[in-house]
């Protein structure tokens, strides 16, 4: 997702984190949604580029979709770790 600027990363991160929060039925604050969304964008971008050959850079809708999928994966994995602890 290198085609986006810093402000776009923040906006996509907040939207993706919020969507992932709703999909996973969790309750977080704005800052947590931002962090989850940005990390999810990194995870989703890595998976999309390496597994599917999809480049999400520069396309807002694909960027939000990829970031949301990555954020859902992140929240799922964090839930597994939290359950074991």
pLDDT tens digit string along 28-56? 888 998 899 989 988 988 888 888 887 77
φ and ψ at 82, to 5 degrees? -65, -35
Residue of 58 and 75 predicted with greater confidence: 75
pTM of the entire predicted model: 0.85
Q: What is the pLDDT of residue 10?
A: 85
**Residue 53 zone, left/alpha/beta (φ > 0; ψ -120 to 50; rest):** left
Average pLDDT of every residue of the chain: 87
> Mapping DSSP to helix (H, G, I), strand (E, B) and coil, where does residue 69 land?
helix
**Would you state the pLDDT for residue 2?**
54
pLDDT level of residue 62 (50, 70, 90 thresholds)? confident
For residue 11, pLDDT beyond 80: yes
């Amino acid at each position: 997702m290198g085609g986006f600027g810093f402000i776009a990363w923040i906006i996509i991160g907040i939207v993706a984190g919020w969507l992932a929060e709703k999909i996973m039925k969790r309750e977080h604050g704005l800052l947590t949604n931002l962090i989850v969304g940005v990390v999810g964008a990194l995870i989703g971008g890595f998976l999309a580029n390496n597994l599917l050959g999809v480049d999400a850079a520069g396309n807002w809708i694909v960027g939000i979709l990829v970031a949301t999928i990555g954020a859902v994966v992140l929240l799922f994995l964090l839930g597994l770790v939290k359950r074991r602890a």
